Structure 1
């Protein structure tokens, strides 16, 4: 649900918001302003991670999952009801930014809570698989948001800009109600309950996680960089580039996005499960290194303006480069932190990494393109991915690590050995 709302904004930022909320900025300026509001949501995410990470480690994962769902659903629906700049002038982009900040706070607290709950509930030897299923939620959210947007974008342009773009945002209320009914049936994990029972009264989980896990926070944030920058470059910047610069039909990039997120429904659990067998680190490091190389192949393929090559480029950089990292990610990050600060640690690290990697990636890429074409964009993406590869190189292996005090378990280079220990 939250990912439908969050990714929906990215699609609208590439196709609609520049024309309706920033009409005076010109074509490229309007796109830059629109992508800047996209980035604002990412800046808000670490604050949501801190707030709801604290609440999740204090009052439970279920509480945060229900609260973030309500906040996200309402704020997204309100975006669909916003008057445009033609109606209320400067207040239109101001209100858009405010609602985007609220969205960012909500999604910043949701993923870490969900990751902690699912990984804690999984058998030790299948945490990667269970975490991979969690990652499908992002793909399904993208699939739904892109699919609905593809349908309404078939409307004549005047109708699409007048009311069609609002429909996907207003539909979030239906998803919100459905998700609320489902999440009310959740139960807290035994790992969380055991951590709470008889535990000495501790300081704020935020203080505790920075005191106990400074290295793990840095590594976990770094692990998010490659998958985050490639995903938002592909699904947001490339959508703008193919339509506005190459003059291609918007359906080409939208359809390519639909294909790769559909394939991810298979690849993410596969790579998550594979990490249970060979370890988290080898898959993550291999995917990160691939992500350094692939931008130099991806952008020339896109620049051909061939629909087939654009689709193949999307598959190459997302399903082959990103998914070996994104599938094992929930289990990898969750296993780095102690039980009583896990939600806080995962939330804070994941959201900080998301801001650095993906938050302003479309904005930076658009600015770099305006300055020097695609090569500076390519180098930028590769450089961010290289930082992630460095984090993966220094990351410990965690597959099969027993829950408890995570730092008490010595890192091992062989994921299969650890997995055997967790049998």
Structure 2
């Protein structure tokens, strides 16, 4: 891995193909086609890009059952236990509304209600992600979303992976469709003959998925525009080089554009991690992907103090941040910007990906400066409620009218005052 001394201009921000006019034009055409031609467009694109000719895009109950029956029982148990951990964590995010009642009988309140429907995109392609099913579905279920839809690209056999369908089965999700890419996002946003449109779309995907989500935003809600995976590790000379290297590679293997960064005060550790990364790459099944990510976006920065490393981490605002150093928990309190923080030697990032219970759908591209992990909060809306008693209106009508006229809005003022004549005349 490349090494350099830590400076104040550290950055990993990258665009999500905004400037690629060809890709964006393709996405817009796909969305237009799906809106006009519905299922026919989905079937056309599935044959063209996924290499499989489907008769129907919906996964039937028999196909679901066959996948579950084929799935290894121990893995089914593992997925079920992971689902329990994720549900336990997200149950703590449930919110209640509130009502503030005043002496005059008026009140203001907030009601928290679930959105009506959610479409959850599960990536396919180079890997299958049953964990993404758990991470997207469970917070929606905890929030109380009434209709939850899964959509994912099929394999060459025309089926979704057994793992994805097993995860859907565990969670009781029956509305599952086979389609991928921008066309799947368009179908969720606008509907087809088979798929009813949803209120919100969540889940990561490739650049075409990201661009499509950006295009449909406003007609539907989305969770975020996700970029390639990122990991930053803060480590001192108490860390083990082989463990640091393994954790860096755990994210590098996701995508050739994934970012793996080590921030350390130890030149000795930096040199050892560089060697370990190369050694471990030799036997990594996804060597080509991880190797390109390490070459293009892997970096080791050497700083003078732990405070320098903390400042750099906050500037990077990475998706995943590990702290493998003495007093790791105390150091973690200084972190303001990170999608998720992993504290100590035994808190390797994949624990959060699969089993701890926290959500692995996280902000990338330094957007952890202002955004958060997918959660129950993403599947609810908060509605303000106002009840003004007659007494409250009488006390405040003139004040409100004056404020409206201050802004030049006579109609606002008259709306509040319209009750006054009736009151004066006993009506």
**TM-score (norm: length of structure 2):** 0.27
- Larger strand percent: 2
Higher relative contact order (CA 8 A, sep 6+): 1
**TM-score (norm: length of structure 1):** 0.28
- Larger helix percent: 1
